[in-house]
Amino acid sequence: MADYRQFTRFNVVGCSGSGKSSLGRQISAALGLPYIEMDAVFWLPDWTEPHDDDFLPALTESLAGNAWVLDGNYHRTVPIKWQKVEVVVWLDLPYWQIFWQVLSRTLRRSITREELWAGNRESLAKAFFSRDSILVWSLTNMKKIRVRYSELMQDESYSGIRFVRLRSRHEVSEFVVALSATPVKQFNR
pLDDT in tens, 123-165: 888 888 888 888 888 888 889 999 999 999 999 999 999 999 9
Residues 6+ apart with CB under 8 A from 112: none
DSSP reduced 3-state for 89: strand
The residues facing 10 across adjacent strands are: 69, 87
Q: Alpha-carbon torsion 42, 76, 159, 142, what sign?
A: positive
Mean pLDDT value across the chain: 90
- Is the pLDDT score of 186 beyond 60? no
Contact 166, 175 (CB under 8 A): yes
Contact 35, 184 (CB under 8 A): no
What fold, for 9-179? Answer: Rossmann fold (3.40.50)
Q: Letter for the amino acid at 184?
A: V
> Each residue of 71-114: pLDDT tens digit?
999 999 999 999 999 999 999 999 999 999 989 988 998 899 98
